[in-house]
Amino acid sequence: MVETHEEQEIQDGRMPFLAHLGELRKRIIVSLIAIGLGFAVTFNFSEQIITWIARPLPVKLAFLEPTEPFWVNMKVAMFAGMFLVLPVILYEIWAFVSPGLLPRERKFALPFVVLSTLLFALGAAFALLVIVPFAVKFLVSYKTENLVATISVNRYVDFVLKFTLAFGLVFELPLGITLAARLGLVTPQFLARNRKYAILLAFVAAAILTPTPDAFNQILMAGPLILMYEAGIVAARVFGRRPVQQAA
């Protein structure tokens, strides 16, 4: 039986779509298995992790419900496990999108995975070692002379995790800008011209990403975000796509 041109087009369009769904399913399963293995490793250290992130507090953490310590340990172990297997997750993301890239663009797979992991680790370390201790000491001591601090372990862990994830993503910005420049989606000149809008968006994003609504924490988030944007402009100038020279 001879297929019509329309039937052939439908078939050609359907198979890639189904193949993409199958590929997405495969990548999700591999990522979930990796996260499960990471969780199994980090769950044994969840109590030590909670003790470590609570070091800036002048008081011991409290729990308000009988199930709170259990679920907090589960949450901490899950996020720590995801961080432990982050290279695997990033590789699966790249492997899913790479079929739509040109051969010369697929060679960036290893640099993408390595640099993404390093930048996220730097952002998370900056949050845990600098931003969170500074923010906690300021907020706990600000006009609290006549108050008694009773801090829920669940609320505090959420506070720390949101900061850590947010700064990890913020530090990915230079890499994202560089990749966009390599693909020809943006240029350093375009980024520099629109700097004022980027600064405005940085404060909007900080208002969304920060775990508290106060301006102090928003400034702590917006400042590094603006610096990462500037670093992205520099990286785009150095590693971005070179303009094609026109023949005389």
User: Does residue 41 have a pLDDT over 90?
Assistant: yes
How high is the pLDDT of residue 136?
87
Of 151, 124, 2, nearest to 62 by C-alpha is 151
Q: Per-residue pLDDT for 222 more than 90?
A: no
CA–CA dist 110, 87 (Å, integer): 10
Question: Mean pLDDT in the chain?
Answer: 82
Name, of 107-121, 151-165, 217-231, the range with top average pLDDT: 151-165
How confident is residue 105, by pLDDT bands cut at 50, 70 and 90?
low
Does the pLDDT of residue 32 top 50, yes or no? yes
**What's the pTM?**
0.77
pLDDT surpassing 70 at residue 15: no
Scored b (16 or more CB within 10 A) or e, 130-164 reads ebbeebbeeeeeeeeeeeeeebbbbebbebbbbbb
Asked if residue 46 lies in contact with residue 76, where contact means CB atoms within 8 angstroms, the answer is yes
Question: Which pLDDT value is given to residue 166?
Answer: 86
pLDDT of residue 45: 93
Q: What pLDDT is attached to residue 211? A: 61
Query: Do 81 and 42 touch, CB atoms closer than 8 A?
Result: yes
Q: Which of 13-17, 135-139, 150-154 shows the lowest per-residue confidence on average (mean pLDDT)? A: 13-17
CA distances from 162 to 124, 188, 217, 220 (A): 10, 30, 12, 13
SS3 category, 138: helix
Q: How confident is the model at residue 140 (pLDDT cuts 50, 70, 90)?
A: confident
∠217-153-121 over CA atoms, to 5°?
A: 55
- Alpha-carbon distance of 174 to 158, in angstroms, equals 26
pLDDT-derived band at 102, boundaries 50, 70, 90: low
Q: How many beta carbons lie within 10 A of that of residue 191, not counting itself?
A: 21
Name the residue with tokens 């008694």: 148
- Does residue 73 have a pLDDT over 60? yes
Residue 91: CB partners within 8 Å, gap ≥ 6?
A: 109, 113
C-alpha dihedral, 86 to 89 to 92 to 94, nearest 10°: -60
